[in-house]
C-alpha cells in the first residue's frame, strides 16, 4: 500500500513538472522582444513583402533578436504605427520620416541609400499628349489630367508639387483639368500608361526598375522631365529602443544596415549601398513641407 502511494506521488510530481515546463516555455519565449519594422507602401503589397521579408531575416541574424516586417496600407498608417510603437524601425520617405520624427521624441534617421541624398522624381506623360523629353520644365502639362502618387509621398507628391508651383506660379488645382492621387508609384505608371491620366509624377527609382524589368510599355508612356535633386528615403528608429533592447542597440541596428552588402538585399530597395543619415539631412524636406502646409 505504501509503495503504491509513493509511486502515485512520484508520478504526480513528474506530471506537474512536465506541465510546468509546457507552461513556462511560451512565457519565456514572450520575454524575447521582437523588433518590428515597416515601410511606406510605395509599391503594391506583394512586391513589398518580397522586398522586406528577406531584410527581416538578415536583421534577425545580424542583431540576434527576432525581427518581423509588417505591411501597412498607407503612408499615414506607416507614420501612425511608428508613433504608436507598433513598429520601432521604418523605411520612410523623406516626408513621412519628417512627420514621424516630429511625433516621436528622440526618433533618429540612421541610414539611407547611397542614392538618397540626391533623389529625383520624374514627370511622365502618355504619348497622346505630344509632350517630349526636355531639360526645361514641361509647361505644356497645363490643362492635362494629372496624378500624383500618395498624398504623403515625397517623390510622388511633395517635391513634384513644389517644382510645379515653382515653375508655373500656381497650384495643381489651377493648372490641371483633373488632379488625382494614385496611392503608389507603380499605380501611377499604370494609370498614365493606360491613358486614365495624361500626366503623372513618379519616383525615378521605381520608374527605372519597371522599365528595366519591362513592366511598362514605353511605346505609350515616357519620362519627360526630371526634378532637381533632393534628400528622400531613410531608415528611422524610435528613441526608446535602447531602453528596451539594451544600451547601444540603436547603433547596432545602424551598423547592421550600413553593413548590408548582399546584392540580393540591396536589389530589394534598390540601392547600391547604405550610408549614415541624420535628422538634419532632411531639413530641406521639412522646410518644403512647411511651405506647402503639409506639416505645422
State yes or no: pLDDT of 195 exceeds 90: yes
Are 240 and 260 contained in the same domain?
A: yes
Q: Is residue 250 part of a domain?
A: yes
Q: Please provide the DSSP assignment of 133-149 as one string.
A: --SS--GGGTTSEEEES
Instruction: Decide: 157 and 166 in contact? Cβ < 8 Å.
Output: no
Helices (H), the chain: 2-31, 45-63, 75-83, 94-103, 159-168, 172-175, 185-194, 204-212, 241-245, 249-258, 263-267, 283-291
Are 128 and 220 contained in the same domain?
A: yes
Q: Is residue 38 part of a domain?
A: yes
Q: Is residue 24 part of a domain?
A: no
For 108-145, b/e burial (b = at least 16 CB within 10 A) is bbbbbbebbbebbbbbbbbbebebeeeeeebeebeebb
Per the structure, the complete domain to which residue 153 belongs is given by 120-226
Are 109 and 250 contained in the same domain?
A: yes
Q: Who has greater pLDDT, 51 or 13?
A: 51
Domain boundary, last residue among 226, 250, 272: 226
pLDDT grade for 267, boundaries at 50, 70 and 90: confident
Chain centroid to CA 222? 25
Are 86 and 104 contained in the same domain?
A: yes
Q: Give the three-class secondary structure for 237.
A: strand
Residue with cell 534617421: 109
How high is the pLDDT of residue 2? 43
Are 218 and 250 contained in the same domain?
A: no
What is the pLDDT of the chain when averaged over all its residues?
89
Are 216 and 150 contained in the same domain?
A: yes
pLDDT grade for 20, boundaries at 50, 70 and 90: very low
Q: Is residue 95 part of a domain?
A: yes
Q: Who has greater pLDDT, 22 or 213?
A: 213
Q: Is residue 11 part of a domain?
A: no
Instruction: Decide: 43 and 184 in contact? Cβ < 8 Å.
Output: yes
Smallest CA-to-CA distance from 91 within 276, 234, 281 is with 234
pLDDT grade for 3, boundaries at 50, 70 and 90: very low
Query: Model confidence over 242-266: pLDDT tens digits?
Result: 999 999 999 999 999 999 999 999 9
| Mean pLDDT, residues 48-56 taken together | 86
State yes or no: pLDDT of 12 exceeds 50: no
124 grid coordinates: 511622365
- Look up the pTM and report it: 0.81
pLDDT grade for 18, boundaries at 50, 70 and 90: very low
Q: Who has greater pLDDT, 225 or 20?
A: 225
How high is the pLDDT of residue 21? 42
118 grid coordinates: 540626391
How high is the pLDDT of residue 17? 41
Domain boundary, last residue among 206, 226, 246: 226
Are 132 and 73 contained in the same domain?
A: no
Q: Is residue 212 part of a domain?
A: yes
pLDDT grade for 290, boundaries at 50, 70 and 90: very high
Q: How many domains does the chain have?
A: 2
Are 125 and 267 contained in the same domain?
A: no
Are 124 and 176 contained in the same domain?
A: yes
Domain boundary, last residue among 226, 253, 271: 226
pLDDT grade for 228, boundaries at 50, 70 and 90: very high
How high is the pLDDT of residue 165? 96
Are 49 and 96 contained in the same domain?
A: yes
| Mean pLDDT, residues 83-92 taken together | 98
Q: Give the three-class secondary structure for 184.
A: coil
- CATH assignment at residue 270: 3.40.190.10
Are 238 and 217 contained in the same domain?
A: no
CA distances from 130 to 61, 69, 198, 225 (A): 52, 43, 10, 14
Q: Is residue 28 part of a domain?
A: no
Instruction: Decide: 233 and 114 in contact? Cβ < 8 Å.
Output: no
Are 180 and 209 contained in the same domain?
A: yes
Q: Is residue 17 part of a domain?
A: no
Amino acid at each position: 500500500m505504501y509503495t503504491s502511494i509513493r509511486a502515485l506521488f512520484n508520478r504526480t510530481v513528474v506530471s506537474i513538472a512536465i506541465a510546468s515546463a509546457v507552461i513556462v516555455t511560451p512565457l519565456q519565449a514572450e520575454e524575447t522582444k521582437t523588433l518590428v519594422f515597416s515601410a511606406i507602401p510605395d509599391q503594391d503589397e506583394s512586391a513589398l513583402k518580397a522586398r522586406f521579408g528577406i531584410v527581416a531575416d538578415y536583421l534577425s541574424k545580424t542583431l540576434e533578436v527576432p525581427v518581423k516586417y509588417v505591411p501597412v496600407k498607407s503612408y499615414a498608417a506607416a507614420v501612425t504605427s511608428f508613433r504608436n510603437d507598433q513598429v520601432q524601425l521604418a523605411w520612410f520617405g523623406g516626408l513621412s520620416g519628417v512627420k514621424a520624427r516630429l511625433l516621436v521624441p528622440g526618433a533618429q534617421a540612421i541610414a539611407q541609400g547611397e542614392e538618397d541624398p540626391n533623389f529625383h522624381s520624374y514627370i511622365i506623360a502618355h504619348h497622346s499628349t505630344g509632350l517630349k523629353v526636355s531639360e526645361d520644365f514641361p509647361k505644356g502639362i497645363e490643362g492635362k489630367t494629372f496624378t500624383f502618387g500618395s498624398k504623403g509621398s515625397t517623390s510622388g507628391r511633395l517635391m513634384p508639387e513644389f517644382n510645379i508651383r515653382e515653375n508655373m506660379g500656381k497650384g495643381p488645382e489651377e493648372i490641371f483639368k483633373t488632379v488625382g492621387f494614385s496611392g503608389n508609384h507603380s499605380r501611377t505608371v499604370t494609370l498614365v500608361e493606360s491613358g486614365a491620366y495624361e500626366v503623372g509624377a513618379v519616383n525615378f527609382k521605381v520608374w527605372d526598375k519597371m522599365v528595366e524589368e519591362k513592366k511598362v510599355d514605353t511605346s505609350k508612356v515616357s519620362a519627360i522631365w526630371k526634378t532637381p535633386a533632393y534628400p528622400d528615403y531613410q531608415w528611422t528608429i524610435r528613441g526608446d529602443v535602447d531602453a528596451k533592447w539594451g544600451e547601444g542597440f540603436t547603433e547596432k541596428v545602424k551598423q547592421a544596415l550600413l553593413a548590408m552588402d548582399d546584392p540580393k538585399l540591396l536589389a530589394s530597395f534598390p540601392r547600391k549601398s547604405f550610408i549614415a543619415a541624420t535628422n538634419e539631412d532632411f531639413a530641406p524636406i521639412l522646410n518644403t513641407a512647411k511651405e506647402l502646409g503639409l506639416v505645422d
